[in-house]
Amino acid sequence: MRNNRRRMTGEVTKAKAMKTVTVRVDRSYRHRLYGKVVHTSKQYLVHDELGCHPGDQVVIVESRPVSKRKRWVVEQVLRKATEEQVEASAAVQVDMPALEAQA
């Protein structure tokens, strides 16, 4: 039986903390007055027991508060990130301290 909790689909952007990932949920809608398609995104801190990596496509479900800012849990992984995406995100994370030291 399926419960009536809210569910959203998004992409994992960060997975640095233990059992916590940041998920970006994209949303597009048509502006009421001008009719232009508006794209927005929001990031959520999500509890992760499945071991997600940046680039994974996941379904998150609303839950009880796990911590101060975590109110969502990863329900399932829809699509795993490719090896190239994982390596690229790891390379960017490694290069960031070097760039901050130069500034």
Distance in angstroms (rounded) separating the CA atoms of residues 27 and 14: 19
Confidence category of residue 94, pLDDT binned at 50, 70, 90: low
Percentage above 70 pLDDT, the chain: 85
Distance in angstroms (rounded) separating the CA atoms of residues 61 and 74: 6
Place of tokens 């997975």: 15
Place of tokens 């994370």: 93
pLDDT tens readout for residues 4-43: 999 999 999 999 999 999 999 999 999 999 999 999 999 9
**Mean per-residue pLDDT of the chain:** 90
Identify the CATH assignment for 7-102 out of 2.40.50.140, 3.40.50.300, 2.30.30.790, 3.90.1170.50: 2.40.50.140
pTM summary value: 0.79
Domain range summary for the chain, segments of one domain joined by +: 7-102
Distance in angstroms (rounded) separating the CA atoms of residues 97 and 50: 28
The type of residue at 19 is: K
